[in-house]
């Protein structure tokens, strides 16, 4: 069995990394733009949700807590931390 420090590097992995590396800047820009649009839409949805709760007669403190819970699903950093 090969020890942890003496394993040979897989040449296919190196080739794949070499193929993906030039694509990374474009992917970062594309995903960054998508992320910003997603966060903007979530913020807009949260403010509409909050306003409608107030219109239905829910007090401000409860509406704020419910809005925080509503927006919790759009917090992508929690999902990323979960995957680590």
- Tell whether 6 is covered by a domain: no
Q: Which domain holds residue 75?
A: 11-83
- Tell whether 19 is covered by a domain: yes
The per-residue pLDDT for 4 is: 57
The per-residue pLDDT for 9 is: 67
- Tell whether 4 is covered by a domain: no
The total number of structural domains in the chain stands at 1
The per-residue pLDDT for 21 is: 85
The per-residue pLDDT for 84 is: 67
Q: Which residues does the chain have with pLDDT short of 70?
A: 1-9, 83-84
Alpha carbons 9 and 16: distance in angstroms, whole number: 12
Alpha carbons 8 and 16: distance in angstroms, whole number: 16
Is the full-model pTM beyond 0.85? no
- Tell whether 2 is covered by a domain: no
């Amino acid at each position: 069995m090969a020890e942890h420090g003496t394993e040979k590097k897989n040449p296919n992995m190196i080739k794949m990394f070499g193929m993906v590396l030039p694509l990374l800047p474009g992917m970062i820009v594309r995903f960054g733009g998508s992320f910003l649009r997603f966060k903007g839409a979530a913020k807009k949805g949260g403010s509409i949700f909050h306003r409608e709760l107030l219109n239905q007669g829910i007090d401000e403190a409860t509406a704020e807590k419910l809005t925080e819970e509503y927006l919790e699903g759009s917090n992508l950093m929690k999902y990323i931390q979960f995957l680590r």
